[in-house]
Amino acid sequence: MKHCHPRIILACAALALSLPASADEAQEYFDSHVHLTNYVQEGITARQYLDAVGDRVGRSVLFGIPLQMQWSDRVTGNVAPTYYLDSDTDLYYYSFTDAVIAEQYRNLSPAQQARFEPMIIGFNPTDMYAADHIRRVLQTYPGVFTGIGEFSIHKEFVSTQVSGDVASLIDPALDRIFDFTAESGLIAILHTDIHMPFVKPEFRRLYFEQALDLFRRHPDSTIIWAHTGLGRVVQPVAEHLAMLEEILADPAFKHVHFDISWDEVAKYVVATPDTTRLTAALIEKYPDRFLMGSDNVALTNPEAVFAVFNQYQPLWDALSPQASKAVRKDNFSRLFDAAAKRVRAWEKANPARR
C-alpha cells in the first residue's frame, strides 16, 4: 500500500536526536510543510529527515526551495549567504530542485516512500511556460509527485529580490498553472501574503480580493493557502480570522484549505488566551479545512524538529480530540490520498513521448 504508516527504528546519528519508541498519539502528526533544503539548495537527505522525526511524524510532504540565493563577492565577499535576509543580491528560480527531490524519493525503500508526498516547485510562476515545466516533470518522473509547491506569489522581502518579473495573483501564467493542476489532480501549496507588509487601510484587502478571484477561477484545483496568508511582518489585521471565514463559509471556496505552518504564525495564534481561543473556535467550526505544518527548512538542529508543533500546544489543548486529529493527520491523508490517485491516473493516460 502506498500510504501505509510504517514504524521505523529511530537511529539518528546525523542529527543526534533520541526519542522514545512510541509517543502519545496526541503528539503525533503529519507535516504538510517541510523544506528539505535551504536557499542555497543545501540540507539533509530524506532518510536523515525520517531519522530525525522518527515515528512522531508519520507522513510529510517533500520539497526543497524553488529559489537560489546569488553569492556575489562584490556584496558579501567571502561570507556566503544562505538565507534571503543575508544579502541584497538576487534570488533566481532553480529548476534542478525537482530532479533532486525526485532522486531523493527514488532512493528510498517502498516503506519510506509511503511516508512522503513529493512536490514540484522548480518553476517561475510569472512564466507562461511554467505549466509546461510542471507537466514535463510529472511525465519524466511518473509515480513520484503528488502536487506543486510551496511556491510563492506575494512574499514579504522575497518578492522584490527575485530576478525578473514580479509574481502576481492576476497573471495569466498563474491561471495556466492552476488549469493544469485541475487537469492532472496535483494539489497546490500556495504562499501569498494576505495583505501588504505595513499595509495602509485602503490596501488592506487588495491581495485578499485578488486571491479570492483566483480561487473562484479555479474551483477544480485543490489549494492549500500556506501560513493562512501571514508572515514575519505580514501580521494579522483585526479582521484576519473573519477574512479566513469568508473563504471557509463560502461553498464556492470548498477547494481551499489552510496550513498553520511557521513559527511566526504559531506566535500569533498563541500570543494570548484570546487569540488561541478564537483560532480554536474557527478550527472547530471548520475542522476539515486546516493542516498542521512545521515549515522546517534544512533541519540541522535536533531541538528544532518539533519546535513549531510544541509551540502550538495551547492550541492543541483548546481543540477537541476530533478537531485536533483532523488538523494533525486526517486532513492530510484525505487531501493527499485523493490527489495521488488522480495524478497516477493522469500519468497513465498521458505517458511521456519516447
Q: Would you list the domain boundaries of the chain?
A: 25-349
Give the CA distances from residue 342 to residues 186, 187, 225, 289, 346, in Å, rounded to whole numbers and listed in that order.
8, 10, 21, 20, 6
Helix 240-248 × helix 273-285 angle, to 10°:
10
Strands 116-120 and 223-225: unpaired
Please give the Cα distance from 120 to 220 (Å, whole number): 19
**Range with lowest mean pLDDT among 74-83, 145-154, 269-278:** 74-83
Sequence-ordered list of residues with C-beta below 8 angstroms from that of 250, at least 6 positions apart, any chain: none
User: Cβ contacts of residue 354 below 8 Å, gap of 6+?
Assistant: none
What is residue 192's predicted lDDT score, i.e. its pLDDT? 96
Max avg pLDDT among 7-16, 138-147, 188-197, 299-308 = 138-147
The CATH number, out of the four listed (3.40.640.10, 3.90.1170.40, 3.20.20.140, 3.40.50.300), of the domain defined by the range 25-349: 3.20.20.140
Give mean pLDDT, residues 227-255: 94
Say if residues 37 and 9 touch (Cβ distance below 8 Å): no
Question: Residue 296: in which H helix or E strand, if any?
Answer: strand 296-297
Residue 6: predicted pLDDT: 35
166-221 per-position pLDDT tens digit: 999 999 999 999 999 999 999 999 999 998 887 777 778 999 999 999 999 999 99
